[in-house]
Amino acid sequence: MTRPFILSAAIADPELAVPETAATYLNAADETGLDLLLFGEAGGRPFDAQVLVAWAAPRSQRVGLVATVPASNAHPFHVARALSAVDFLSAGRTGWSVIPEGAAEGTAEDMVGAARSLWDGWGSDTLILDKASGRYLDASKVKASNYEGPFFKVTGPVNAMRPLLGQPVLVLDDAAPIAIKDADIALVSEPTADAGATKSLLKVTLDTKVEDVAALFAEGKIEGVHMSLSDPLAELPKLAALFAELVAANPGGEGDLRARLGLPLASTASNQPDGAKIPEIA
């Protein structure tokens, strides 16, 4: 499996919701080769990130678009649908980071469970789209979720397709921890053996020593870095320059975000390994 050095950053600037500014931030993210851009973060979420990643989908080419979703102000049925659509519009570049943001303990975990069950209600190969026979889909591949958690009870099936990624890349942040053990990415202040995710990214600043990061990456304790940006246009090129050698020496794969970053869907996270397939029409 691919083992790229992953570059991630978060923007919590309210101006990210202003089109002219958002466009310059997205261009900078793509130009500097950023792998993941978090829209908002714990303690800084002055917008609805799910809306902004939709706008960003056609305004970016490469960067992974990660929506910070507050468990206190969202419902898994809406979240599952919104992120499914973003994943199609971005050709498989969607992520989400669920933070409690004041919700009762367990709500964020319940949100993850409910949304996953909705995405899993649609099989990868549900769509047929055969104009000649009139068969649009294979109904046996669509299942009601009947999810019942402590906070959310969702019958399903959701009226949104399983995403291209199967499920969007799930990001945990140790500044707002939630009890999920099979996420894709964990943002950590210190390397830890039980971060709860396939890969850990070390939180850094522009003063972080590259040698220390290189050593941790070589030991397999981290898979890249994450930085919270306060001045994105100034900091993004510096962040990229600081870690340029590590990135160049450890490139990502080809394909969608999971393929590029080496993040297969965890078998505990989904009832099937693949994302949606859209039949081609002659």
Partner 1 sequence: MMSNEIHLWAFLQGIGFYPTGWMHERARPEGVFSMDYYSYVAKLAEKGRFDAIVFGDQLQSRGAGGRTPERMAMPTLDPMTLLTAMAAVTDHVGLVATISTTFNTPEMLAERFGTMERITGGRAGWNIVTSVHPDTAGNFGLDEMPPKETRYSNAADVVDKACELWAAMDRAGPHLNQGRPVLVQAGQSPAGREFAARTAEAIFCPAPSIEAGIDFRNDMRSRISGVGRNPDGTRVMPGLSCVLGGTEEEAKANHKAIMDMASVELAIEYLSESLCCDLTSFDPNAKLPVEAILEKTLLPTADVGRMVTPAGEKGTSLRDFAMNFMLNPRGHNVFIGTPEQMADMMIEWRDAGACDGFTLQPSYMPGGLEDFVEGVIPILQQKGRYRTEYPGTTLRSTLGLPAYERAEA
- Residues of this chain that interact with partner 1 (CB under 8 A) are 14-15, 17-19, 22, 47-48, 50-52, 54-59, 73-75, 77-78, 81-82, 84-86, 88-91, 122, 129, 131, 134-139, 142, 144, 152-161, 276, 278-281
Residue with tokens 């310059």: 24
As measured in angstroms, the least distance from the Cβ of 40 to partner 1 is 10
As measured in angstroms, the least distance from the Cβ of 84 to partner 1 is 7
As measured in angstroms, the least distance from the Cβ of 256 to partner 1 is 14
DSSP states of the chain: ---PPEEEEEE--GGGGSHHHHHHHHHHHHHTT-SEEEESBTTB--S-HHHHHHHHTTT-SSSEEEEEEEGGG--HHHHHHHHHHHHHHTTS-EEEEEE-TTPPTTHHHHHHHHHHHHHTTB-TT-EEEETTTTEEE-GGGB----EE-SS-EE----SSPPPTTSSPEEEEETTS----SSEEEEEESS--TT-SEEEEEEE--TTS-HHHHHHHHHTTS-SEEEEEESSHHHHHHHHHHHTHHHHHHS---SSSHHHHHT-PPPTTT-SSS----PPP--
Cβ-based nearer residue to partner 1, 176 or 195: 176
Cβ-based nearer residue to partner 1, 17 or 175: 17
Cβ-based nearer residue to partner 1, 59 or 221: 59
As measured in angstroms, the least distance from the Cβ of 50 to partner 1 is 7
Cα(142)–Cα(12) distance, rounded to whole angstroms?
Answer: 37
Cβ-based nearer residue to partner 1, 39 or 217: 39
As measured in angstroms, the least distance from the Cβ of 92 to partner 1 is 11
Cβ-based nearer residue to partner 1, 22 or 261: 22
Say how many C-beta atoms besides its own lie within 10 A of residue 26's C-beta: 24
Retrieve residue 71's tokens: 């468990």
As measured in angstroms, the least distance from the Cβ of 117 to partner 1 is 12
As measured in angstroms, the least distance from the Cβ of 21 to partner 1 is 9
Report whether 43 contacts 175 (CB < 8 A).
Answer: yes
Cβ-based nearer residue to partner 1, 29 or 56: 56
